[in-house]
Amino acid sequence: MPLLAIQSSSRSPLISLAFSKQHFFRKFTIPSVLLHAQTRTTAVTRSHSSTTMSTGLSSSSRSSHTINLPCQLNHPVEVVADPGVSEADFKNAVECSLFKQWLKNIQTETGMLANGEMLLKQVLIQGVDMFGNRVGFLKFKADIFDKETGQKVPGIVFARGPAVAVLILLDSEGETYAVLTEQVRVPVGRLILELPAGMLDDDKGDFLGTAVREVEEETGIKLSLDEVIDLTAFLDPSTGRRVIPSPGGCDEEISLFLYRGNVNKEVITQLQGKQTGLREHGEFIKVHVVPYQELWRRTADAKALMAIALYEMAQKEGLLPPLRR
């Protein structure tokens, strides 16, 4: 029987590009997959122009540069900064993994530029939120047009990158319980009961490790890597084997994991109402334990509802290993 410990508390080749400004150069890198396959160096120009704000009271310079995509070589893409975006934030935005991954996605086999029917003309960087030294959230608008009709496709993007969530099911005295967290969620203005979850902190793609770490931070439950099952791995490869909760506005892709274990009733009691979270990071979390049969009615969390669907279908088709005793 696995132990359940409760605590109190393929890299793309890179090529070098140079930005010029007055009499000096600054270098950064962009994955070569984003650029023409036969082009080893691509000129990237940064220009500054005076732009009058809508109020007409002041002006600010706007940073910009141009990139060439292999799928539309005759149509360079201009990336420009909104007047409120600083030069430093603009540079961070263009170099960050969130923007690079979006450029990569639109050129994949299922990408929106793959069949040549769409054209990307410009990207406007509107907002950058830094998490320490990395870009955590990126807001931009892409001007994408249908070539046949000339109509613009809605292109507002909130980029936050990949994330994980874990469905924790604990069997105790003939009953199965699900472990949820209650957190203040400012975007929706209320408390939400949801699965333990979190964003990937770096570009290494350690989904499983992140899932195990988030469970410990948010619930105090220590899991081993080999005890956790990737539910999204059962999806068809064409899906990318992640779920996308809001593709109309956000790039977030979530890997959903499952843990099942046997515990005594005392563990259920200890978890119920437990205060957890990293206080220094503004996390104020309360743990809730609910009967699994009631879970689908007790939460509005899309992660939980998607995990239930994947779990039930995987169980129905006999894809899950037997529960360890």
Least confident of 103-107, 177-181, 205-209, 292-296: 205-209
| Spatial separation of the C-alpha atoms in residues 34 and 141, rounded to whole Å | 18
User: How much is the pLDDT for 50?
Assistant: 33
Backbone dihedral angles phi then psi of residue 239, each to the nearest 5 degrees: -80, -10
Please state, in angstroms and as integers, the Cα–Cα distance from residue 297 to each residue in 192, 256, 294, following that order.
Answer: 13, 19, 6
User: How much is the pLDDT for 36?
Assistant: 40
Question: Contact 99/138 with Cβ under 8 angstroms?
Answer: yes
pLDDT surpasses 50 at 53: no
Q: Across residues 18-30, what is the average pLDDT?
A: 36
3-state secondary structure of 162: coil
Contacts of 285 (CB under 8 A, 6+ apart): 181, 182, 183, 218, 275, 276, 277
How do residues 88-133 score in pLDDT, each as one tens digit?
A: 999 999 999 999 999 999 999 999 999 999 999 999 999 999 999 9
Confidence bin at 62 (pLDDT 50/70/90): confident
Q: Across residues 189-206, what is the average pLDDT?
A: 88
Please state, in angstroms and as integers, the Cα–Cα distance from residue 149 to each residue in 112, 153, 167, 240, following that order.
Answer: 16, 11, 45, 30
- Amino acid residing at 45: T
Please name the helix (run of DSSP H) or strand (run of DSSP E) that holds residue 314, with its range, or none: helix 302-316
Please state, in angstroms and as integers, the Cα–Cα distance from residue 212 to each residue in 127, 198, 223, 263, 286, following that order.
Answer: 31, 10, 6, 18, 18
Q: Across residues 218-231, what is the average pLDDT?
A: 95
pLDDT surpasses 60 at 158: yes
How do residues 237-296 score in pLDDT, each as one tens digit?
A: 999 999 999 999 999 999 999 999 999 999 999 999 999 876 666 678 999 999 999 999
Please name the helix (run of DSSP H) or strand (run of DSSP E) that holds residue 111, with its range, or none: none
Confidence bin at 184 (pLDDT 50/70/90): confident
| Spatial separation of the C-alpha atoms in residues 215 and 223, rounded to whole Å | 8
pTM of the predicted protein model: 0.80
> Which neighbouring-strand residues pair with 156?
141
Question: Which domains are assigned to the chain?
Answer: 14-159 (no CATH), 162-316 (3.90.79.10)
User: How much is the pLDDT for 279?
Assistant: 65
